[in-house]
Amino acid sequence: MTDSLQRKRVVITGLSVVSPLGNNIADLIQQVFGGVSGIKLLDAPFVDQLDCKIAAQAQFNPADHFSKHTYSMLDRASQMALYTSIEAIKNAGLILDDAVKPRMGIYLGTGMGGANSLEEGYVRLYRDGASRLKPFTVLMSMNNAAASAIALEHQITGPNQTFSTACSSSAVAIGEAARLIRHGYADVMLAGGTEALLTYGSIKAWEALRTLAEEDVDDLGASCKPFSANRTGLVLGEGAAMLLLESFEHAEARGATIYAEIVGYGTANDSNHITQPSVNGQASTMQAALADAGLSPNDIQYINAHGTGTQLNDITETNAVKKVFNGHAYKLSMSSTKSMHGHLMGAAGALETIITTLAVNTNMLPPTINLIRPDTECDLDYVPNVSKTLPNLEYAMSNSFAFGGTGATLILKKVK
């Protein structure tokens, strides 16, 4: 049997977020398409010890959603992931019965898993001189803790895997989950990502890497300036984002609302440099996704860019888009929503896939805010500062690229 005969359509039927731009889809729509910045002064007791005092922080209190017994045994990353899993299932209107659970799985992306729990353990051990740590330290800090917590909460018995490819982690998780459904190994998948890296140690490590943005003294919310001549780097963010994926047949049979269809996925490693992206590497993921979708470059109308706001990435991604799309690069629109929600690292791809899904669903393109002085080497349409309508939007692409070289591209289609 050929692959084309085996291939099932994969659709998105549930969405949920914990993000710097809100903890539900309605708030996310209002803020991301309204050009609102979630970048502020970090609310943390150690902020005065930081060189970079800004972050895109999620306003999430686990006590509002879980019992103390539940949240006390989960790292912040797992708490947010568990909450979004519950909300995504609710958003999809899916009933988890005995027929669904064995054919349902969880694919989750994260860069550093339970970083808060690990750092807390180190502080207790090395600074405070504790002779023993919390019994659950290992279980809270392991990378697969969030996916495991979701499986236990919902009693989901299908495939459960955690992907850790730095900033492309959750895009890879979504793409691989779509493949699982496409080839008949599952009917339903929870796919997304989570990250909670706003700890003292993590931020100091990023400061040492010299990739964090300088604070905009006139407007802290304008500190991340992708594709701008005066951009200075990325802003760390935190949060979780979850999508519920189904085969089209499964979704149709239960009368589910469909947000969009995943028609293409490409992933590759550029094998160029541990931190420096390459044009060829980024182009290869987009080309792979186009080939997977059976589309030509001219079919794509919008790209949600990786768009970190660093000097090298923004130029590299712009040139990679030109390499793949040639003259059509100047006809499509591309924006970096990281200008508003910061860089959620392992959760970034999932949040940006949700935003791209909303763009396809609403015919609205989110802006790249703070783009006042464009870089002459970044000369495409980045939807500067204000969102715009694209009435005939049918195909959109979401890019995620990472330290270590693993990139992932997803292509979404409007379901009419």
Residue-wise pLDDT tens digits, 90-117: 999 999 999 999 999 999 999 999 999 9
Nearest partner of 407 among 363, 334, 348, 356, judged by Cα? 348
6 has a pLDDT exceeding 80 = no
Angle between helices 76-92 and 115-122 (to 10 degrees): 160
pLDDT given for residue 4 in this prediction: 46
pLDDT given for residue 46 in this prediction: 97
From the list 154, 306, 341, 378, the catalytic residue is 306
Instruction: For residue 343, indicate whether it is catalytic.
Output: yes
Spatial distance between the Cα atoms of 141 and 127, rounded to a whole number of angstroms? 19
Please, which residues have CB within 8 angstroms of residue 123's CB and are 6 or more apart in sequence? none
Place of tokens 């802290």: 220
Nearest partner of 164 among 203, 237, 235, 113, judged by Cα? 113
From the list 52, 167, 224, 378, the catalytic residue is 167
Question: Per residue in 348-407, pLDDT tens?
Answer: 999 999 999 999 999 999 999 999 999 999 999 999 999 999 999 999 999 999 999 999
**What mean pLDDT do residues 26-53 have?**
97
Question: Per residue in 277-305, pLDDT tens?
Answer: 999 999 999 999 999 999 999 999 999 99
Instruction: For residue 69, indicate whether it is catalytic.
Output: no
% of residues, the chain, pLDDT over 90: 97
% of residues, the chain, pLDDT over 70: 99
Question: Per residue in 165-216, pLDDT tens?
Answer: 999 999 999 999 999 999 999 999 999 999 999 999 999 999 999 999 999 9
pLDDT band at 2 (very low <50, low <70, confident <90, very high): very low
Question: CB 50: neighbour CB atoms within 10 A?
Answer: 17
At residue 415, what are phi and psi to the nearest 5 degrees?
-100, 115
> Between β-strands 364-365 and 104-109, what pairing exists: parallel, antiparallel or unpaired?
unpaired
Question: Which domains are seen in the chain, by residue range?
Answer: 10-253 (3.40.47.10), 263-413 (3.40.47.10)
| Average model confidence (pLDDT) across the chain | 96
At residue 368, what are phi and psi to the nearest 5 degrees?
-95, 105
